[in-house]
Chain A
């Protein structure tokens, strides 16, 4: 079953509004979570690393004031797209590392499709 959940799965909003996306690790704790963005028919690009108890680490070119990340607990990270514009429309995916011996890896959430009108 799923080990990482995301909510909402789809969101449509008007330009200028803010949208919050939640990422939860299920049945395990994650001090680190990752946020990726994927444009249609393109690859995943890392936006930022979410760290529980400290500030997020943003990749070069990602506006930290526009994409607010809060790692509120060991199982929850949120991404808020502030003052969203049509160019922010994308598929946002979070992931969390889970230790499991030979299979420990990053597990991905199902993604959130954001459409800004």
Chain B
């Protein structure tokens, strides 16, 4: 069975600090997808990134970066120079591979509530 663990329930940092959100996953599939979503107070999930299991390249998008380590089954998310607007709940998710990336159900981690203080 698939499982995603986000051990950090809540993180609070001061603005401009760097922060890393951890995500560890379990799956028996050899091909799978990993995702990060942001859920601001409004409740709507915002897609941040998708990573294929066969692509271990790390990715950077502005202040956001992701570190995918297949050897440790981890897919960590780092925010550099955090801002108050980054405050939200962040979810890591996993799905099996299929004919279409988003067509498989997602298994979510418990989420990490990130608070950026001014």
Contact = CB atoms under 8 A, between A and B. Distances in A.
Interface string A66-109: 00000000000000000000000001010111110001111111
Interface of A: 32, 34, 41-46, 49, 91, 93, 95-99, 103-111, 113
Interface string B90-113: 010000000011110111111101
A113 B106 CA distance: 21
What class of interface size applies to chain B in its complex with A? 20 to 34
B73 to A, nearest CB: 18
A25 to B, nearest CB: 11
Most buried by A among B43, B47, B102, B108: B102
Given A103-B47, A104-B102, A105-B47, 8 more contacts: A44-B45, A44-B106, A96-B102, A97-B103, A99-B101, A103-B50, A105-B101, A111-B44
Contact of A98 (B50, B102, B105, B109): B102
A113 B43 contact: yes
A108 B37 CA distance: 10
B30 interface: no
B32 interface: no
Interface string B17-45: 00000000000000000010100001111
Interface in B55-75: none
